[in-house]
Amino acid sequence: MTAGDANARLEGAFLKLVEEKPFAKITVNDIVKEAGVHRNTFYYHYQSIPAMLSEICRKMVAKMVIIYKDVQSPSDCVLPLVRYSKEHKMAILHVFHSEARQILMDYVRQIGRFSIERYIDNVTERTGITRHDKEIMTRFYTAGIVGVWTDWVEENMESDSTEDFIRIGAILEKTTIE
């Protein structure tokens, strides 16, 4: 088995486990047993379970950066994150309601910031808006989108917020283009 195979097996095992039980209840032994690898293999790749989570989130951000490279609408900024969150609801909730919440939130902010930044750059390309003003807009809209996402997760994602996020996107579009 290659290092890449072991890494993929460990991450897959962790993702399966975090869908099933709270983050704090997952042990290295659980992960290696699920992955079918030796305990030392885990520590060859990761220092800890939070370090593994951070690496998984880093990879997710890298994938989303590819998705967001040509953001054309505000909905493009947030709907992939909302869809992913809905598809992995229990995993998101288990991490969100754990001591690892900050790791998740840091990466959600990165995704939000990158996508909003791309959108604002695209729609203000020929407007003469200063880099400083673009930065202010990016911070403002990122905080808003991440805040709404956070509120939705705090409410255990009980509502289907897709329409809310589409509406937020429409408002964002009106305020950045007009």
Q: Which helix (H) or strand (E) holds 7?
A: helix 3-20
Q: How confident is the model at residue 170 (pLDDT cuts 50, 70, 90)?
A: confident
Task: State how far the Cα of 60 lies from the Cα of 111, in Å rounded to an integer.
Answer: 9
What digits encode the pLDDT tens for the residues 112-138? 888 888 888 877 777 778 889 889 988
What value does the mean pLDDT take over residues 31-51?
A: 95
The model's pTM: 0.85
Q: pLDDT value at position 4?
A: 67
Task: Provide, rounded to the nearest whole percent, the portion of the chain with pLDDT above 90.
Answer: 51
